[in-house]
Amino acid sequence: MATRRQFIRISAVGAGAVLAGAAGFRLMAPEPVKALSGSAGEMLRRIPTYCEVCFWKCAGWVYRDDKGAIKKIVGNNEDLNCNGRFCPRGTGGIGMYYDDDRLRTPLIRTEERGQQSFREATWEEAFDYIAEKIKKISAEHGPECLALFTHGSGGKYFSTLLRALGSPHVAAPSYAQCRGPREVAFQGTFGETIESPERTDIRDTKCLVLIGSHIGENMHNGQVQEMSDAIDKGATIITVDPRYSTAAGKSKYWLPIKPATDLALLLAWINVIINEELYDKPYVEKYTFGLDYLREHVRSMTPEWAYGITTIDPTVIRETAREMANASPAVIIHPGRHVTWYGDDTQRLRAVAILNALLGSWGRRGGFYRPEIFELPEPPHPPFPEPKRSWRTEFPDLYKLADSVLANGLCDATVPDPSRHCQFQGWIVNGTNLIETLPNQENTLKAIQALQLLVVIDTMPMEITGWADVVLPECTYLERFDDIRTGPHRKPQIALRAPAAEPMYNTKPSFWMARELAKRLGVIDYFPFERIEDQLDWQLKQAGSSLDEMMKLGVKTFDRQYEDLYFAPGEDVEFYTPTGKIELYSTTFEEAGFDPLPKYTHHEEPPPGFYRLNYGRAPMHTFSRTSNNPNLTDLMDENTLWVNPRVAKEWGLSTGQYVHLVNQDGKKSEFPIKVRVTERIRWDSVYMVHGFGHDQKKLRRCYGKGASDTNLITKVLVDPLMGGTGMRGNFVTFITDLSGKEVAS
């Protein structure tokens, strides 16, 4: 675009999209047909899938009737991620297919007399447009100036496309906006990462410590089930959270910590465990490096010291430390998942890792097991060209411990800066609503304005699509094949996703889109199979299965190939760290110029009259991807603002009343939010569920419902070790005087 991009509400587009039978698309016969009685006695057939409503990827069966209508979706009993049970979001996933606000046909941005709008386009037009722009960018700036942002299954194929073109820049928000710090911290300590699903052996644990990890609202399926089983078997749950979460309600101890002070609590626990000699001595002696340094480091970090910082009673700190030690080694100090909070997150998670190491839980039953993953061969293709530059070239001294591309890093490297040689020119965005996902929306928009090309592949007209030059409508996960799921677990397992219906409207799967672009860009060799079915069949046959077999089974479990699930007594274990030991003292961190032992640093506190903005998950929604889902909006259609009664009294707020919020930088919420007065949140914070407050009118069910936390996250506390974006350093206050027209509902 020569001119500045205008945000386009997709409602401007006529509704004349074609309902096309996609050429070349063939539904696999669901063989053998598992018959099941429908409500009117009709026969239903089942097709295997794995869920795309969140990234736990539970495997299940989709049932459709004789006329091809999708009726329901249930868990696959053999699946290790879900054990036959879907969560409410997964069950409601059918709503993604039936949502009549879905994207229907490719769109291209056009401009007439200064007014931009989308015009409906054919797939050929859309691909030609994109290919021409990509060729131009590659010729003028190098292919490295192309970036892919992706979250979800189809990203795999666009990643192949980008790497074939010569760009290494593939980023997922699930790293720098989510679990990156924990992976870096555990890698530095144990030489291995946690990954997803987490290797936590919750089902056999005797003590589970949750630090800002709210399993129960965080509905990651297998974990929730295992936690409930552990509780039934008498496990102690200790929850550290400024909010009385669902998990806190199931806990023996709830520690309502002052936000941003967790590192002090962790260090005090380490202090108690070392001083009272509660650690697993043979384990620590055999497997770890640096106990003496650690002992010296935490010497003054007593529970009394931590009390002054965290507001947690020293007696409780000692008691909970002893609870953990009593359960050792069947204890888990949970590494958490969305851990980008205050910018010292990697160090906080180092303390978590150290605590687990002292208690001997890594590699032990009821602690952390050794997962195995099924290695499925990739389809043969030429080697990827060696990129000449990477984002690292532009930021050589920053984020040295980052082991993945940073989504925010790519965004920063797109904002024009005369001191940089390489500036990103083209973005492909697949399955991530960057406007709501990356903190500091102003920065995201600055980057977007500097692009020559923005392609968005999505199923819904989300905020990000409004900024695209080309929108490519993907069919939902219920209408397509995708890569075989191979995630890590107690046993290696694979799962198939097959289409249960033909793509609605003029929508297509990512595999097909990426391949069509590859044809036009001269890199078709990287996509040796024309049809994804044939690729999957080839891959499965290499592994001793086949597409036919997987259509019948849905999931297939294999025997473990390598080590046992847990360390054998006295086993010699080589850890993938520089010392070959579990590093209580991290030589990797030291080498990179960072603290080898975690230090507590004080974080800014809310100014008078302001409250820390805290946010999290609701059991029936996933970020913004479900907020328009008809089945799930029935369960929850807006978020609320949790306010402590003391604060409510001071401000004269009552439950049900709408307020606006304004943050420390004067940024105001776009839509008002309903107050919920509750003791379940500390007086220094307010809380809301992430994923609401959409400003795309075409999202008819969720437009203007509730507030967006991202709107108010203008301050970002970046982790100097790996670039994670801490988002919990924002403070808000209330605007109670609403002019009636602002209230959305």
Q: Which stretch binds ligand SF4 (CB under 6 A): 54-62, 250-258, 308-316, 730-738?
A: 54-62
Asked if 213 touches ligand MGD (CB under 6 A), the answer is yes
Helices (H) and strands (E) in the chain, counts: 24, 27
- DSSP label at 405? B
Is residue 705 within 8 Å of residue 691, measured between CB atoms? no
Asked if 56 touches ligand SF4 (CB under 6 A), the answer is yes
Asked if 54 touches ligand SF4 (CB under 6 A), the answer is yes
User: What is the number of other CB atoms lying within 10 angstroms of the CB of residue 305?
Assistant: 18
For residue 108, what are the β-bridge partners? Answer: 119, 470
Least distance (Å) between residue 400 CB and ligand MGD: 23
Q: Which DSSP helix (H) or strand (E) runs through 436?
A: helix 434-437
Is residue 215 within 8 Å of residue 78, measured between CB atoms? no
Query: Which among ligand SF4, ligand MGD, Mo ion, none contacts residue 152 (Cβ within 5 to 8 A by kind)?
Result: ligand MGD
Q: Spell out, one character per residue from 549 to 568, where the chain touches ligand MGD: x when CB under 6 A holds, - when not.
A: --------------------
Rounded Cα gap, residues 376 and 156, in angstroms = 14
Asked if 220 touches ligand SF4 (CB under 6 A), the answer is yes
Measured from the CB atom, is 360 or 724 closer to ligand MGD? 724
Rounded Cα gap, residues 44 and 8, in angstroms = 42
Q: What amino acid is encoded at 311 in this protein?
A: T
Nearest to 350 by CA among 335, 360, 340: 335
Least distance (Å) between residue 713 CB and Mo ion: 15
E strands present in 113-226? 115-120, 146-150, 170-171, 207-211
Least distance (Å) between residue 57 CB and ligand SF4: 5
Burial-class residue 28 by CB neighbours within 10 Å (0-12, 13-18, 19+): middle
# of chain residues touching Mo ion (CB under 5 A): 2
Residue for token pair 């990890």 = 213
Q: What amino acid is encoded at 250 in this protein?
A: K
Least distance (Å) between residue 70 CB and ligand MGD: 15
Least distance (Å) between residue 223 CB and ligand SF4: 9
Interface residue with ligand MGD, options 30, 93, 95, 152 (CB under 6 A): 152
Helix axes 345-358 and 262-275, enclosed angle (nearest 10): 20
Q: Which stretch binds Mo ion (CB under 5 A): 153-161, 171-179, 306-314, 569-577?
A: 171-179
Is residue 300 within 8 Å of residue 309, measured between CB atoms? no
Q: Which stretch binds ligand SF4 (CB under 6 A): 167-175, 214-222, 429-437, 579-587?
A: 214-222
Asked if 669 touches ligand MGD (CB under 6 A), the answer is no
Measured from the CB atom, is 176 or 237 closer to Mo ion? 176
Q: Which of residues 620-649 bind ligand MGD (CB under 6 A)?
A: 621-625
Least distance (Å) between residue 622 CB and ligand SF4: 6
Q: Which of residues 347-406 bind ligand MGD (CB under 6 A)?
A: none
Is residue 207 within 8 Å of residue 233, measured between CB atoms? no
Residues 6 or more apart in contact with residue 445 via CB below 8 angstroms: 435, 467
Asked if 87 touches ligand SF4 (CB under 6 A), the answer is yes
Measured from the CB atom, is 178 or 358 closer to Mo ion? 178
Interface residue with ligand SF4, options 22, 47, 62, 82 (CB under 6 A): 82
Asked if 457 touches ligand MGD (CB under 6 A), the answer is yes
Q: Which stretch binds ligand MGD (CB under 6 A): 105-113, 378-386, 483-491, 611-619?
A: 611-619
Least distance (Å) between residue 321 CB and ligand SF4: 32
- What is the sign, positive or negative, of the torsion defined by CA atoms of 587, 592, 595, 600? negative
Asked if 174 touches ligand MGD (CB under 6 A), the answer is yes
Query: Which among ligand MGD, ligand SF4, Mo ion, none contacts residue 57 (Cβ within 5 to 8 A by kind)?
Result: ligand SF4
Asked if 603 touches ligand MGD (CB under 6 A), the answer is no
Rounded Cα gap, residues 393 and 409, in angstroms = 12
Rounded Cα gap, residues 533 and 547, in angstroms = 8
Interface residue with ligand SF4, options 30, 48, 90, 335 (CB under 6 A): 90
- What is the sign, positive or negative, of the torsion defined by CA atoms of 277, 278, 282, 284? negative
Asked if 178 touches Mo ion (CB under 5 A), the answer is yes
Residue for token pair 């928009």 = 445
Asked if 230 touches ligand SF4 (CB under 6 A), the answer is no
Q: Which of residues 249-278 bind Mo ion (CB under 5 A)?
A: none
Interface residue with ligand SF4, options 8, 47, 58, 722 (CB under 6 A): 58
46's tokens: 């089942």
Asked if 262 touches ligand MGD (CB under 6 A), the answer is yes
382's tokens: 């030429």
Least distance (Å) between residue 218 CB and ligand SF4: 10
Interface residue with ligand MGD, options 200, 205, 218, 444 (CB under 6 A): 218
Bridging pattern class, strands 658-663 and 673-677:
antiparallel
Is residue 716 within 8 Å of residue 725, measured between CB atoms? yes
Measured from the CB atom, is 621 or 705 closer to ligand MGD? 621
User: What distance, in Å, lies between the first and last C-alpha atoms of the chain?
Assistant: 36
Cα torsion for 122, 125, 128, 129, to the nearest 10°?
-120
Asked if 698 touches ligand MGD (CB under 6 A), the answer is no
Q: Which stretch binds Mo ion (CB under 5 A): 20-28, 170-178, 374-382, 641-649?
A: 170-178
Rounded Cα gap, residues 45 and 499, in angstroms = 12
Rounded Cα gap, residues 589 and 298, in angstroms = 18
Least distance (Å) between residue 56 CB and ligand SF4: 4
DSSP SS3 for 216: coil
Nearest to 456 by CA among 441, 466, 471: 471
Q: Which of residues 330-349 bind Mo ion (CB under 5 A)?
A: 338
Q: Give the interface with ligand MGD as residue ranges (CB under 6 A).
A: 52, 54-55, 151-152, 154, 173-174, 177-178, 211-214, 218-220, 240-243, 245, 257, 259-260, 262, 336-338, 341, 430-433, 436-437, 457-460, 462, 474, 476-477, 614-619, 621-625, 687, 690, 709-710, 713, 727-728
Q: Give the interface with ligand SF4 as residue ranges (CB under 6 A).
A: 51, 53-54, 56-58, 82, 86-87, 89-90, 219-221
Q: Give the interface with Mo ion as residue ranges (CB under 5 A).
A: 178, 338
